[in-house]
Structures are given as structure tokens and as C-alpha cells.
């Protein structure tokens, strides 16, 4: 089987993506682990933000939503038996929230896709993704899955991982990033080290004018090595340490200090750390990228990494 975009997951994200691609003339196939009945009855969200409502209406799947959705223009907070109305509509220049269950959105999107001849494969099990790291006509990006007992392959130009919080696609990308990081470290970096070492070894044997050139060249190679190592560091999926988020952030700071020479202070509010612990892997990755950017671009003299609860 072949398609332009293989989409894993028929939640709101996967279905809406498939619908929007269709409106742009791009073909897709959606693979869903559960049955159609299951996803159309799975109770989850109920509150749709204005942006979501606008997108659904503008893309032609908002008819029922407009009919059946309940619009709320504000909220009321009560203190000491007295109500205080917060008029969100006025405060935001006319925006509102709409109460319309997520599984109703899913029903509308499934109906729209099937009506337009779109393909959704329900009850797909053992889904795995392959070949998305350098897809070529000989080894295209492929989603392998089992449907009605048979192993099937879907070849695609691109794979979209819309398979929720425990995404198999995200995990696969993580594994791929590790492989690229390892290959860069064991291949290119070692070769550059060897070249720089050999040049340095013979620097004293050449005329003075050439010596300066050699020194400048080796300095350039070392800079390139540092850049690649910072890149490799960013590619490796974050390993959250046993001590959880707090220990991992402190460890990142220690590593950054020793490799960059820049002092790092870490300020962690216990409430903030507890609230973020469930997404610790993502947070560690974000902080790692941020530190890498500081090293490359900020020309900073010190760094402060803070987790505070004001926005949580
Ligand atoms: C109780 C609850 C209340 C919520 N309330 C709100 C709210 O009021 N407003 C709001 O905006 N958001 C709310 N949310 C969040 C909202 O439900 C999610 O943001 C939304 O479901 C995310 O959509 P998604 O398509 O990214 O992922 P999902 O809805 O999780 O869909 C992922 C799909 O992928 C499928 N899948 C998973 N693994 C595989 C696999 N290996 N192969 C194939 N298919 C796979 C799953 O079966 C699922 O159908 C709520 C969530 C919950 C749980």
C-alpha cells in the first residue's frame, strides 16, 4: 500500500491533519489502534477554544458543532457569597469557548474523511515505523502493522505521529536520534581528532610561517569538534536520572559548567518540579537545547536555570 502521508492515530490531531491535507489535495492514510466505535465513544475533552472552533468551521466540519455546541462568554468566580463575572468575550475582543465533546469532533472528522473517500484503518495492531531517516525510493518511509491478522506495510513520503502520549512514532524517532548521535561521535568526531592530532604533531618540524597556519587549522578543527559534540549532545534523548527532574537538571548544570566554563545556578521550586515531573524527559530535553543555544549564541557569562510555579 502507498500514500503520501501515513498518519498514526485517529485522535483529533490525526483526523484533522488528514482532513486538512485532503483540502490541500494531499492524500493520506490514517492508522488507528482502536475500533471506530471506541474512538467515537471515548469521553475526553469538552471545552474547545476559539481557535479550534474557527479551524473546524472554516475547514467545513463545524456544522454540528455550530448547532449543538454551547457557547460560554465568560466565567463567574464566587467569594464570600458574592459572584464576580469575568467577561472573557469582552476582554478578548469577541472570543468565547464552546462546550462540544471531543468524541463528537472525532465523529464529525471520521464522517468527513470517509465521505470524501479517505482511508482510515481501524483496529491496526503492532504498529511500527521504519526508514524515515533518509527515505529513498529503494527504502521508503514505512509503517508496518497488523490488520485482520495479516502483516501489512504502508509506504509513505512522510509519517505523522499523532498517536498520543505514549506514541510509538516518538519512541522510534528517539531511537533514530541516538543512532545518528552515536555515528557522529564514533565516526566524524574521531576522524577530526586524529587529523588535528597529526597536524599538531608535526607543527614544530615546519617553517615558522606554516606553523601559524597549522595552529589556526587545528584550532578550527577543535571548534568544529566542539560544535559537533554540542549537536550530538542535543540529539541524544534525555535520560532522566533516578532522582527525577530535579537531579537531572542539576546534573545538566554540572556538565554544562565543566564543558563551557560558565557558572550555572539552578533554582527549583518544589511545587514546580512536582508539577513537571510527569513530563520530565521533555523538560530535560528543552533545557539541554537551551543550554546548547546559550553556549553557541548568547555570549553569556553566567546562566540561571529556574523552575517556578507562577504559570503552572
Ligand atoms: C479526561 C480528559 C479531559 C480533557 N479535557 C480537555 C478539554 O476540556 N479541552 C481540551 O482542549 N483538551 C482536553 N483534554 C486533552 C485532549 O483530550 C487531548 O489534547 C487530545 O485528545 C489530544 O489529541 P491527539 O489526537 O493528539 O491524541 P489522542 O486523542 O490521544 O489520540 C491518539 C490516537 O492514537 C491512537 N493510538 C495510540 N497508539 C497507537 C498506535 N501504536 N497505533 C495506532 N494508533 C494508536 C489512540 O487510540 C488514539 O485514538 C482532555 C483529556 C482528558 C484525558
Distance between start and end Cα atoms, the chain: 45
Q: Residue range 72-90: average pLDDT? A: 93
Asked if residue 45 has its Cβ within 6 Å of ligand 1, the reply is yes
Q: Is 39 near ligand 1, meaning CB less than 6 Å away? A: yes
Question: Distance between CA 74 and CA 101 in Å, rounded?
Answer: 19
Ligand 1: nearest atom to the Cα of 145: 42
Centre of ligand 1 from the C-alpha of residue 14, in Å: 10
Cα(177) to centroid of ligand 1, in Å?
25
Nearest-atom index, ligand 1, CA of 167: 38
The ligand 1 atom nearest the CA atom of 47: 8
Which residue CA neighbors atom 31 of ligand 1 most closely? 11
8 Å CB contact between 50 and 95: yes
CA of 102 to the centre of ligand 1 (A): 9
Residue 246 CA: distances (Å) to CA of 130, 263, 308:
34, 18, 12
Give the pLDDT confidence score for residue 31 in this predicted structure: 97
The CA 23 to ligand 1 mean position distance, Å, reads 23
Ligand 1 centre and the CA of 13: distance in Å?
8
Per-residue pLDDT, averaged over 102-131, amounts to 96
For the CA of 31, the closest atom of ligand 1 is 43
- Strands laid side by side in the 97-99 sheet: 47-48, 97-99, 70-72
For ligand 1, whether the C-beta of 173 sits within 6 Å is no
| Tens digits of residue pLDDT in 133-174 | 664 666 788 999 999 999 999 999 999 999 988 889 888 877
> From ligand 1's centre to the CA of 32, what distance in Å?
12
Which among 65, 66, 72, 67 has a CA at the least distance from the CA of 95?
A: 72
Rounded-to-integer distance, Cα 224 and Cα 108, Å: 52
Please tell me the distance from the alpha carbon of residue 221 to that of residue 225, in angstroms, as a whole number. Answer: 6
Give the span between the Cα atoms of 312 and 291, in whole angstroms: 22
Distance (Å, whole) CA 31 – CA 17:
13
Q: Sign of dihedral through CA atoms 106, 107, 112, 115?
A: positive
Where residue 107 falls among pLDDT bands split at 50, 70, 90? Answer: very high
Residue 238 has pLDDT above 60, yes or no: no
Establish whether residue 154 lines the binding site of ligand 1, counting it when its CB lies within 6 angstroms of any ligand atom.
no
Q: What is the pLDDT of residue 156?
A: 93
Spacing, Cα 11 to ligand 1 middle (Å) = 6
> What's the pLDDT band for 247 if we cut at 50, 70, 90?
confident
SS3 155: strand
* Whether the CB of 44 sits within 6 Å of ligand 1: yes
Q: Residue 179: pLDDT above 80?
A: no
| Per-residue pLDDT, 152 | 95
pLDDT at 109: 98
161 lines ligand 1 (CB under 6 A): no
Answer yes or no: are the C-beta atoms of 38 and 46 closer than 8 Å.
no
Q: Determine the average pLDDT of the residues in 61-83.
A: 94
Q: Calculate how far, in angstroms, residue 160's C-alpha sits from the geometric centre of ligand 1.
A: 15
How far apart are the C-alpha atoms of 118 and 59, rounded to whole Å? 16
Phi-psi region of 164 (alpha: psi -120 to 50; beta: other; left: phi over 0): left
Q: What percent of the chain has pLDDT over 90?
A: 51
Sequence-ordered list of residues with C-beta below 8 angstroms from that of 257, at least 6 positions apart, any chain: 263, 264
Q: Give the integer Cα–Cα distance in Å for 101 and 65.
A: 9
- Tell me the CB-side half-sphere exposure of residue 202, using CA atoms within 13 A: 11
Of the candidates 165, 173, 154, 170, the one whose C-alpha atom is nearest the C-alpha of residue 5 is 154
Highest mean pLDDT: which of 59-73, 156-170, 206-220, 291-305?
59-73
**DSSP classification of residue 11:** S
Q: What is the pLDDT of residues 254-311, one digit of tens each?
A: 888 888 889 999 998 888 888 887 788 788 878 888 888 888 788 899 999 888 877 5
Residue closest to 119 by CA, chosen among 45, 193, 30: 30
Q: What is the pLDDT of residues 10-21, one digit of tens each?
A: 999 999 999 999
Beta carbon of 127 within 6 Å of any ligand 1 atom: yes
Overall average pLDDT of the 175-184 stretch: 77
CB 274 within 8 Å of CB 244: no
Is the CB–ligand 1 distance for residue 283 below 6 Å? no
Please determine, for residue 85, whether its predicted confidence score (pLDDT) is greater than 60. yes
Amino acid at each position: 500500500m502507498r500514500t503520501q502521508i501515513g498518519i498514526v492515530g485517529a485522535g483529533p490531531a490525526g483526523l484533522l491533519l488528514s482532513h486538512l491535507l485532503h483540502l490541500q489535495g494531499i492524500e493520506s492514510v490514517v492508522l488507528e489502534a482502536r475500533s471506530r466505535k471506541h474512538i467515537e465513544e471515548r469521553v475526553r475533552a469538552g471545552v474547545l477554544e476559539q481557535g479550534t472552533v474557527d479551524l473546524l468551521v472554516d475547514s467545513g466540519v463545524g456544522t454540528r458543532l455550530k448547532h449543538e455546541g454551547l457557547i460560554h462568554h465568560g466565567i463567574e468566580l464566587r467569594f464570600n457569597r458574592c459572584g464576580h463575572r469575568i467577561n472573557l468575550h469582552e476582554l478578548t475582543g469577541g472570543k468565547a469557548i464552546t462546550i462540544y465533546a471531543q468524541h463528537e469532533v472525532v465523529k464529525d472528522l471520521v464522517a468527513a474523511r470517509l465521505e470524501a473517500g479517505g482511508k482510515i484503518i481501524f483496529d491496526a495492531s503492532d504498529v511500527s515505523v521504519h526508514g524515515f531517516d533518509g527515505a529513498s525510493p529503494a527504502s521508503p518511509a514505512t509503517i508496518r502493522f497488523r490488520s485482520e491478522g495479516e502483516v501489512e506495510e504502508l509506504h509513505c513520503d512522510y509519517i505523522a505521529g499523532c498517536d498520543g502520549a505514549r506514541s510509538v512514532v516518538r519512541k522510534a524517532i528517539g531511537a533514530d536520534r541516538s543512532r545518528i548521535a552515536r555515528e557522529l561521535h564514533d565516526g566524524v568526531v574521531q576522524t577530526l581528532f586524529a587529523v588535528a592530532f597529526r597536524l599538531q604533531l608535526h607543527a614544530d618540524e615546519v617553517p615558522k610561517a606554516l606553523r601559524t597556519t597549522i595552529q589556526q587549522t587545528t584550532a578550527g578543527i577543535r571548534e568544529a569538534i566542539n560544535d559537533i559534540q554540542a549537536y550530538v549532545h542535543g540529539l541524544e534523548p534525555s535520560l532522566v536520572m533516578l532522582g527525577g527532574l530535579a537531579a537531572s537538571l542539576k546534573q545538566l548544570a554540572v556538565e554544562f559548567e565543566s564543558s563551557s566554563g560558565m557558572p550555572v545556578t539552578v533554582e527549583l521550586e518544589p511545587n514546580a518540579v512536582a508539577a513537571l515531573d510527569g513530563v520530565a524527559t521533555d523538560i530535560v530535553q528543552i533545557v539541554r537545547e537551551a543550554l546548547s543555544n546559550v553556549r553557541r549564541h548568547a555570549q553569556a557569562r553566567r546562566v540561571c536555570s529556574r523552575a517556578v510555579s507562577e504559570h503552572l
